[in-house]
Amino acid sequence: MSTSRLEILNDGGLRHDARRPYELRSLSLSLSPHPTADGSATVTSGLTSVTASVFGPREPRSRAGTSHDRGIVSVEVGVAPWSGTREVRRSRGDKRLTEIAASIRQTFEPVILLHLYPRSEITINIQVISADGGILPTAINATTLALLDAGIALLDYTTSLSVGLHLTQPLLDLSAPEEADLPHLVVASCPASGKVTLAAMETRLHVDRFEEMLRLGVDACRVIRDEMESVVKKKAAEVVRRSQAVIGVPDAR
Amino acid sequence: MATAATISVGPSKPHPPITILKRSRADVPLAQTKFLKKTARGKVQTILRERYVRNDISCGFEACLFCQEFPGYKPVLPTIGYRKHTKLTDHEGHWLVIDTNIVLHQMDLLTNLPARLPLIIPSTTIRETRHRSLPLYSRLQQLIQDEDRCVWVWWNEERRETATVQQIDGEEMEGVNDRNDRAIRQSLHFYAEHLKSSVPNPPKLVLLTDDRRNRELATSEGLIASSARDYVDGLEGDVRQSLVDLVVGGVDEVQSGERKGRRIYEEYLPLEALNVGVKSGRYHQGHFNANQYNYLEGTVNVPGFNKPVLLVGREAMNRSVQGDVVVVEVFPKSEWKAPGEEVLDQDIALRDDDADDDEGPGVDEGEKQTEKAEKMDVDEETKKNPRDIQPTGKVIGVIKRNWRAYVCHIDRSSLPSSAMTSLSQQTVFATPLSRTLPRIRLRTRQAPQLLDQKILVTIDSWSPNSRYPDGHFVRSLGKVESKEAEQESLLLEYEVPYRPFGKAIMDCLPVEGDKWVVPPKDEGRIEWRDREDLRDLIVCSIDPPGCQDIDDALHARKLPTGNIEAGVHIADVSHFVLPDNPMDSEAASRGTTVYLVDKRIDMLPALLGTNLCSLRPFVERLAFSVIWELNSEAEIVRVRFVKSVIASKEAFTYEAAQLRKDDPSLSDPLTESIRLLNDMAIKLKAARMRAGALALSSPELKIHLDSSESAEPIDVEQKQQRETNSLVEEFMLLANISVAGKIQETFPSTAVLRSVKFIEREPEILTLLRRRHGAPPKTNFEALQDILMKRKGMTLDVSSSGALAKSLDACEDPKEPDFNFLVRIMATRCMLSAEYFSSGSVSKESYGHYGLATPIYTHFTSPIRRYADVLAHRQLSAAINYTPLHPSLQSKSHVEKTLSVVNKRHRLAQMAGRASVEFYVGLALKARGSAKGADGRTREEAYVIRVFRNGMAVFVSKLGLEGLITFSKDAHDFDAENYVLRLPKENGPGFTEVGVFDKVVVEVGIEKDANTQRGKVKMILVEPVRSELL
């Protein structure tokens, strides 16, 4: 019998890391960790940490694939050798990474107001610094913040997280051991409108549970959005305070 | 990866608030666990896992001021603890905190502690138990879920105050055990503090542990700790009396054998060495099978050899017990042996062994002699018959013990007569019911009372210094040969779960209880959704007399087109038993209802089984119907499956239905319906036979009971088969086949199916005897073919089931009307019993059910008494889009796991049923014999079905009994080639020939079996020769 040593959900209603089903991991968001990029952000969710850097809008590096009336988005994903991922190989051409990159691009293409940036390119570079489940949703959250940091026009915050299913109990924000055991779904949505920009599944999931999980995921995305907004507003307030100090607006003193 | 373009999602169902856990910097040391893990390939990985510590884990104290708001809070732990203890005499009483070693070694004690004694079980204990032993873990779960008890699970590792991390003390890393012990002690400190802030004088906490070091540390930290023995000794009065024998010696006590120093067995190798050895192919791993005829011999089936590895002698078996997973080392080929020849009964060979003393001189001598004699025998046999040689080896380690509670009785001889009245603690032997188990040494204070009782004993340990395993008494089942004790011992022996249904299960029943009725018709109601109203159909049920759980009913009527509509209506159990609730999991683990002669152990609570689901007459019931349109040749024109509501018009017995059908004066619709069904059934059966279905038989006995109260058996007879039996059977087969096709089509990978395959199978009783005499034939059919050829000049064609059916029909002997029946019984023995499987687990070609000659088969028609049928109901209900398929039924591995349990339960249930019949046959024969005034024996005609060098197996068709008659070895001549025994004539020279299929006369009597202490059928040959004289 191959019983895992890990209890996904124990009788006390606690997960293996003592979270309850609807609790997300400790989330820390930091803006502009890399001043060389046009915008950057690091999102740490539990032991998963992802940095996104945004370059652009800028002249496309290759002419091919550019559009005269809208900007294009290109995404690169890299994994740090010490990140502790076992399932993702770190080479550049890896299919898994390409897929994550494609998902991120598809998630953001409808959100970024690309018509404002004709004949230009926005490059998003994702670095997975440490991985403990939920690389894709963390990368999406980091990208949103990095885009905001770069001052690129967005429709809305796009937030994301994974939703798993243990028997009939949905679990939010899966860690790596949970991800390995459970069918799960990655949801990215624009919380203001409730629109879903990404719903990705790699495992089979019962169709009856899908809707419930998707709705739950969208609700959880709102929680993350609130968290992001408070960080962004704090940062913006700081920028305002500093610029006022430099320009010398009398009211600021 | 599927991506959706932006879509809007509406509001979700209400759920608890979604929150982000914020981890403070102070928690960092507690928040991560880092460990190294070796992968299957041998790489070492560092794994880092996150952990959150919480403040909202509740303590379960009924008067707690802080924890009431937390999720999962229940007021379990009382303000006044347990007070009936002589040493812990605080006014507020005390609670017990359970350490892991108590769960691992004193589980029987734990489950028998007074229900009002509050227990705190820290999560550390639960986790450690789970790692160490899954059976104990599930018993612990049962204990925790028992709502009548005061048990509180304290999630100590999850609560901030009691979470621990491995400490590094200088160079020394703290051991896992030390850390766990510390975690448990930490919980005691926490509780003392925590309770004080709510109540001024909270109950005291007592740490129950058998680990001396842990106790010492606890005492030095100012905690109260006690060993299990000390604790039980301090309990008051009756409680102490009833528990004192349940205490296992104590892990840290000096092992009893050590003082003597002599090792009888080799020590086991360490686990890593075993694993490495097995992996490298040096050692072999398998299940240990004791030889039930020779206690000094056992075998282990291992993948590396095509014959099982033989273990000869105590040392080679090295403390293995039936069912253990052991590792064996195989000797070089020159030392391989053939299995021994003698039947060695340990009770006789070791009758003088003293339970207190391992080195009793009498024993050693006796055993040496038998061993010596055996060795000679083996050598002799080996020379004669080199093909009997088996790989031989010895056990060098045990991977997993498979110990459970065994039904035993106290060996009277192990109790000195002076001790008969004494109440002091004594060591006695308990002899298990099963012959494959060693005697168990037992310390008890109530030895005199336990004589002549069936008792339950578990094995605790088996040290290398002790000839026998040490065990402890669990409870008494009752007097030997009393019906209650025999019944319970039977159930325990075949691992039938027979406990009454718990509260959690009863809570799953409809709240209306037996007042539940089908509500008035209304499409809006859940009961009526998509259900067809078949209340007006003339439906009736036909069952054996006294049947309470009626799961099937039938109807038939002529359609205007000239075709016939026939319907089988099965109780809609899946309407009441919903997936994944406690009732469902209980039913899944019971697997089947077990029928004993005088008792039925239900799979589902009686309210469902005999009332709400039972298709009783004159009431409306929910059903799942299979309705066919058949043409006049009984071929299926159309079939549909529908959930329905029916009202049965009559519940017949087979006999009553037969009478009604045959009564020419009746022509009411109900009678017509039965006649129509019968016509169709005859045609269906004919078609089935044409397709090559086998009409196999196995003797079925019916026990007449005096009255339901006294349950005294009066007589035994073979069950009668009526036309109406076959009527019901044909339609059930048809329903099962139709349903199997439908669910396989809809769920190709997880459909629950059933099929039969060939194997070599023969009754265990004969295996040992046959093995000596010629190589085993490739299949049993070959043996049967050979016997038929040589004895009767008949052939058996087994190339297909059709050919087999035909040649079985041809096996007729005009002089012996029972001959055909006999051949069929023997052919049935060559078949494997049918098993359930999930359709994705085997190739489509092997779905076929050989005996029924149908390409696909399942069980659908008895959901009240078989769990596989419940699964089939759920799948069919999903297949017709009535309900969605539960996720668990989509997972192939889950279905397979469930079915393997059901298969096992099914097998054991059949064996239990047979053993119960055997017990009653014994009683009935005894009753019959004593009525005649003879010594309890009756004479019966019998057929020889097998011959051996030293005996023959006979079948008494009148009683449906099979028996073995043995003679001493040399008195006669055995002709293995022609299946004939030449027995010396009683008076004068010359021989009488007795061969297979010959008719003989036997005396059937009852003899008390030494092991089971149960009456057992014993046969003696009377004609042509008296076997007693041989």
- Here the CATH number for the domain that contains residue B241 is 3.40.50.1010
Identify whether B240 is part of a domain.
Answer: yes
Domain ranges of chain A: 27-246
For B404, phi and psi rounded to 5 degrees? Answer: -140, -170
Distance from CA of A149 to the nearest CA of B (A): 23
Least Cα distance to B469 among B484, B455, B478, B458 occurs for: B458
Q: Would you say B317 and B360 are in contact if contact means Cβ atoms under 8 Å apart?
A: no
Of the residues A6, A8, A9, A20, the best mutation for testing chain B's interface (the one with the most B CB atoms within 10 Å of its CB) is A20
Least Cα distance to B1027 among B963, B984, B987 occurs for: B984
Tell whether the model's pLDDT for residue A251 goes beyond 60: no
Whether A136 and chain B come into contact, CB under 8 Å, resolves to no
Same domain, B624 and B707: yes
| Backbone φ/ψ region at B875: left (φ over 0), alpha (ψ -120 to 50), beta | alpha
Domain boundary among B459, B484, B509: B484
pLDDT of residue B496: 86
Query: Nearest residue on chain B to A48, judged by CA atoms?
Result: B50
Distances (CA, A) of B963 to B697, B776, B896, B1030: 18, 21, 37, 17
In degrees, to the nearest 5, what angle opens at C-alpha B428 toward C-alphas B422 and B434?
Answer: 140
Chunk chain B into consecutive blocks of 10 residues (it has 1030) and report each block's average pLDDT, rounded to whole numbers.
50 78 77 76 81 88 87 86 85 90 88 89 90 83 85 90 80 82 92 89 90 91 90 85 76 42 79 87 87 78 80 86 88 78 55 50 45 50 58 88 84 67 74 83 79 85 84 84 80 84 86 85 81 90 86 91 92 90 89 86 89 89 93 91 92 89 87 91 89 69 56 58 84 92 89 65 36 38 76 75 76 76 75 77 75 85 92 92 84 85 88 81 71 64 77 76 69 71 72 80 74 67 70
pLDDT of residue B818: 74
Give the closest of B3, B18, B123 to A220, CB-based. B18
Q: What is the mean pLDDT of residues A10-17?
A: 88
CATH number for the domain harbouring residue B315? 2.40.50.690
A52-70 tens-digit pLDDT: 999 989 988 887 778 888 9
Contacts of residue B230, Cβ cutoff 8 Å, sequence gap at least 6? B87
Q: What is the mean pLDDT of residues A151-162?
A: 94
Identify whether B782 is part of a domain.
Answer: yes
pLDDT of residue B666: 84
Sort out which chain A residues have CB atoms less than 8 A from B158's CB and list them: 12, 14, 18
pLDDT of residue B874: 93
Q: Which two tokens stand for residue A174?
A: 């899966």
Same domain, B282 and B343: yes
Query: Nearest residue on chain A to B155, judged by CA atoms?
Result: A12
Least Cα distance to B344 among B272, B386, B294, B303 occurs for: B294
Q: Would you say B951 and B769 are in contact if contact means Cβ atoms under 8 Å apart?
A: yes
Compute the distance between CA of residue B209 and CA of residue B818 in angstroms, rounded to an integer. Answer: 66
Helix ranges, B61-106 (H) = 100-105
* Domains identified in chain B, total number: 5
Tell whether the model's pLDDT for residue A128 goes beyond 60: yes
Sort out which chain A residues have CB atoms less than 8 A from B131's CB and list them: 5
Quote the distance between the C-alpha of residue B599 and its chain's center: 17
Same domain, B520 and B554: yes
Q: Would you say B848 and B737 are in contact if contact means Cβ atoms under 8 Å apart?
A: no
Domain boundary among B830, B853, B873: B830
Domain around B442 = 271-348+387-484
- In 10 A of CB B601, how many CB atoms? 18
Distance from CA of B885 to the nearest CA of A (A): 9
Compute the distance between CA of residue B983 and CA of residue B973 in angstroms, rounded to an integer. Answer: 7
Least Cα distance to B575 among B665, B672, B644 occurs for: B644
Identify whether B84 is part of a domain.
Answer: yes
- In 10 A of CB B527, how many CB atoms? 17
Burial of B659 (0-12, 13-18, 19+ CB in 10 A): middle
Query: Nearest residue on chain A to B883, judged by CA atoms?
Result: A208
Distance from CA of B580 to the nearest CA of A (A): 9
Same domain, B692 and B781: no
Tell whether the model's pLDDT for residue A105 goes beyond 90: yes
pLDDT of residue B759: 37
Q: Which A residues in the span 44-83 are in contact with B, Cβ-Cβ below 8 Å? A: 46-47
Compute the distance between CA of residue B723 and CA of residue B662 in angstroms, rounded to an integer. Answer: 11
Q: What is the mean pLDDT of residues A238-242?
A: 91
Give the position of tokens 């239990």: B912
Whether A95 and chain B come into contact, CB under 8 Å, resolves to no
For B680, phi and psi rounded to 5 degrees? Answer: -65, -40
Give the closest of B32, B71, B887 to A13, CB-based. B71
Compute the distance between CA of residue B712 and CA of residue B714 in angstroms, rounded to an integer. Answer: 6
Q: Which residue has the higher pLDDT, B718 or A231?
A: A231
* CA dihedral over A157, A162, A165, A169, signed as positive or negative: negative
Same domain, B455 and B310: yes
Compute the distance between CA of residue B666 and CA of residue B656 in angstroms, rounded to an integer. Answer: 13
Q: In what order do the strands lie in the sheet with B951-956?
A: B961-966, B951-956, B938-948, B999-1008, B1015-1023
pLDDT of residue B832: 62
Distances (CA, A) of B516 to A253, B110, B550: 78, 39, 17
Q: State which H helix or E strand residue B447 sits in.
A: helix B447-450
Distance from CA of B73 to the nearest CA of A (A): 10
Sort out which chain B residues have CB atoms less than 8 A from A175's CB and list them: 49-50
Contacts of residue B926, Cβ cutoff 8 Å, sequence gap at least 6? B936, B1006, B1015
Compute the distance between CA of residue A239 and CA of residue B696 in angstroms, rounded to an integer. Answer: 90
Query: Nearest residue on chain A to B886, judged by CA atoms?
Result: A206
A22/B1 CB distance under 8 A: no
Contacts of residue B872, Cβ cutoff 8 Å, sequence gap at least 6? B739, B740, B743, B752, B858, B859, B860, B863
B9/A208 CB distance under 8 A: no
What letter would DSSP give residue B840? G
Q: Would you say A60 and A66 are in contact if contact means Cβ atoms under 8 Å apart?
A: yes
Query: Nearest residue on chain B to A197, judged by CA atoms?
Result: B6
> Strands (DSSP E) along B513-563, which ranges?
532-543, 552-558
How many CA atoms does the CB half-sphere of B374 hold within 13 Å? 21
Q: How far apart are the first and last CA of chain A?
A: 70
Residue B409: strand pairing partners: B431, B454
Distance from CA of B132 to the nearest CA of A (A): 11
Same domain, B59 and B71: yes
What letter would DSSP give residue B949? T
Same domain, B208 and B320: no
Same domain, B444 and B524: no
pLDDT of residue B519: 85
Least Cα distance to B658 among B648, B671, B641 occurs for: B671
**Percentage of chain A modeled with pLDDT above 90:** 59
pLDDT of residue B719: 65
Whether A87 and chain B come into contact, CB under 8 Å, resolves to no
Compute the distance between CA of residue B303 and CA of residue B325 in angstroms, rounded to an integer. Answer: 13
A216/B15 CB distance under 8 A: yes
pLDDT of residue B207: 93
Identify whether B921 is part of a domain.
Answer: yes
> Strands (DSSP E) along chain A, which ranges?
23-24, 27-31, 39-45, 48-58, 72-79, 121-130, 159-166, 169-172, 184-190, 195-201
Same domain, B217 and B109: yes
Q: Which residue has the higher pLDDT, A13 or B1006?
A: A13
Same domain, B815 and B872: no
> Strands (DSSP E) along B544-572, which ranges?
552-558, 564-571
A3/B134 CB distance under 8 A: yes
B50/A47 CB distance under 8 A: yes
Same domain, B909 and B795: no
Sort out which chain A residues have CB atoms less than 8 A from B130's CB and list them: 5, 7
Q: Which two tokens stand for residue B203?
A: 């109950």
Residue B180, helix vs strand vs coil: helix
Q: Would you say B870 and B859 are in contact if contact means Cβ atoms under 8 Å apart?
A: no
A206/B884 CB distance under 8 A: yes
Whether A247 and chain B come into contact, CB under 8 Å, resolves to no
Same domain, B819 and B840: no
Compute the distance between CA of residue B38 and CA of residue B447 in angstroms, rounded to an integer. Answer: 51
Compute the distance between CA of residue B697 and CA of residue B681 in angstroms, rounded to an integer. Answer: 19
CATH topology of domain A27-246: Ribosomal Protein S5; domain 2 (3.30.230)
Domain boundary among B247, B263, B292: B247
- DSSP assignments along A117-148, one per residue: STT-EEEEEEEEEE-SS-HHHHHHHHHHHHHH
